[in-house]
Amino acid sequence: MAAPWIIPYSIVEPSCGVFEPPSFSHWFGCDDGGIDVLSLTIYGGRISIMVGVTASLIAIFVGALVGVLAGYFGGPTDTVLMGITDYLLVIPQIVLMIVVAAVWSPSIEHVVLVIGLLMWTSVARLIRSQVKSLRQRVFVRRAEANGAGHLHIILRHILPQIGPLLAANWVLAITVAIFNETALAFLGLSDSNAVTWGTIMEHAFNRSAVSAGAWWAIVPAGTAVALLVIGCYLVGRSIEDRLNPRLAVSYLSTRNWRLRPAKELEHD
């Protein structure tokens, strides 16, 4: 959010030559308009992160709502909601986003809505399974026996139990949202006037940065996306591992990186 105050050069007025290579005064070089690439990368991160955080919050909210309703009420409600979820899961997510984004006018608001409203399915599946398990727990049964209503049980007994899991999945959802925003912007389906990491790379490709050998106009934004996605993924996995070790089944999970003690190796 502090990008406008910490960028070394203006992102509107040229500060160097066309496709000037990296130097001591311009660490990441300049683009075809003489704009400092480091300043663009810092400024572009503000909108990219905002889109990722906002879209992931929408996805978590919709996924939690669908998952809680399906898992708690079951029956026809579960059948209908999971039918819709399974239908959306069959279609490749990025393809569906491209189609919907192409229909709407390109803007940051539309990109946020497209990403947020189309990436909730995996969250809904996970929350549904957790809620179905919680539905059979003693404290939920006791609340029902005491005459507690559905809304009271969901708010007082179900949500506090799945809250930490939602937090962990929110961090993981940020990585997917940022990647999807970058892909849509790179394909020209976002607001071309907004400075994001995706639009920086899209602009560089359209201005023949590759053929000109100006790799510095593309690599910094791509590297920023990769580092942020990896960082959020590792944080999300670490939170998930601490909340529930049984969820650590991924080969990329941090729990699988620990060296085995020598005593364990002796018994093999």
pLDDT tens by residue, 143-155: 888 888 888 888 8
**Residue 253 backbone dihedrals phi, psi, to 5 degrees:** -65, 145
Angle at CA 101, nearest 5°, toward 168 and 121? 35
pLDDT at 60: 93
pLDDT at 3: 59
| Torsion region of 77: left, alpha or beta (phi above 0 gives left; psi -120 to 50 gives alpha) | alpha
The Cβ of residue 150 has, within 10 Å, a number of other Cβ atoms equal to: 12
Q: Are 72 and 158 in contact (CB under 8 A)?
A: yes
Question: What does the block give as tokens for 110?
Answer: 């539309």
**pTM for this predicted structure:** 0.80
pLDDT at 2: 61
Look at residue 165 and give its three-state secondary structure. helix
pLDDT at 82: 92
The domain limits of the chain are: 26-234
Task: Report the distance separating Cα 243 and Cα 134, nearest Å.
Answer: 16
Task: Report the distance separating Cα 39 and Cα 195, nearest Å.
Answer: 11
pLDDT at 258: 44
> Exposed, middle or buried, 219 (CB in 10 Å: 0-12/13-18/19+)?
middle
pLDDT at 244: 60
Question: What does the block give as tokens for 267?
Answer: 């018994």
In the predicted model, residues of the chain with pLDDT beneath 50 are 246-268
Q: What is the DSSP string of 30-77?
A: B-TTS-BHHHHHHHHHHHHHHHHHHHHHHHHHHHHHHHHHHHHH-HHH
Residue count of the chain, please give it: 268
Task: Report the distance separating Cα 39 and Cα 30, nearest Å.
Answer: 9
Give the H/E segment covering residue 143.
helix 138-145
Task: Report the distance separating Cα 260 and Cα 203, nearest Å.
Answer: 48
Q: Are 168 and 235 in contact (CB under 8 A)?
A: no
Say which CATH superfamily domain 26-234 falls into: MetI-like (1.10.3720.10)
pLDDT at 261: 46
